[in-house]
Amino acid sequence: MPARLPKILLDCDTGIDDALTLLYLASLVRTGDAELVGVGTVHGNIDPATGALNTLRVLELAGVEGVPVAVGAGRPMAQDVHYALDWHGQDGLGDTDLPAPAGAPTGEAAAAQIVRLAREHPGELSLLAIGPLTNLAAALLLDGELPGLLREVVIMGGAFDHPGNITTHAEANIWHDPEAADLVLAADWPVTLVPLDVTHPTAVGEQWLTKLAAHDSAAARFAVRILEFYVTAYTPVLKRRGAVVHDALAAMLITNPEVCEYTERPVRVERRGELTRGATVWDARSIPADDDRRASRVATGVDVAAFQDRLLAALLSLD
């Protein structure tokens, strides 16, 4: 029997690493290795309306047609909205000021799109969340049966034995909406969590960037152009020229889970701590207390070379 073709529903806040992840997914679609059934956008790197236009730009550049793009939540559930303009630019794509896309968002709310597509494809969808989790939480509130309708939820978010990237303890996607994140992690669905512990070690460097720049295709030129802003922001953090393409690792694990190693533990989000709000917390004791929360599969190790090679090959395949 042929392997099941992954059906991916993407939820994102299309900044620079989201755009590169969209190119990666486009390569899977064009080679027949996955189907992208829809995209929803959320506040985070940029506002969701701009994120939707960025998403359409990338899909059109990559030659992927017919994917509905829905605009989602414009703010978190219980705090002010913040954008990552220092990392992604005023337009979310490194201040490249690209022309408007030919297409337009559907007009459907992203949370409603999640529910509708889950009911149209029961048990088939991999929901890939690479932004704050507000849309997913809203979808859970819209349809209490949603956890039983999805094949899996893969989330780029969290930090455990790694410093946060927005506060000392909190990773950005979780910090942008801790209430939504805890609601999502408490739901009874299979979750794979891809934290900074595994994304940060995959930072691409000079050699990888040079190989990308040497390839003369529209997709490669676009990737190089937006990466210029991102690399400039990341270089002081890494103390070398490079950048971390966090979201692409989460996308890769849907079709190539062997790229990471995992452990299974219930995960909670700190919502009240003055210094720790937005931190992801697990019970790492050798004999943990009983916990009625469903365990998440947390990525704890990564094959860096495999990730970098697969991502580069995908970007270079989009001629």
| The residue to which tokens 């959320």 are assigned | 42
Paired with 128 in beta bridges are 10, 154
- Among residues 43, 169, 176, 246, the one annotated as catalytic is 246
Q: Which amino acid is at 290?
A: D
DSSP state of 214: T
CA distance 82 to 156: 18
82 noted as active-site residue: no
Number of H helices, E strands in the chain: 12, 10
Q: Return phi, psi of residue 40, to 5°.
A: -120, 145
SS3 state of residue 129: strand
SS3 state of residue 153: strand
CA distance 163 to 28: 32
Q: What angle do CA 265, 267, 270 make, to 5 degrees?
A: 155
Contact 8, 254 (CB under 8 A): yes
Residue 43 CB partners (closer than 8 Å, separation 6+): 13, 73, 74, 75, 76, 81, 83, 131, 132, 134, 176
User: Annotated catalytic sites, by residue?
Assistant: 246
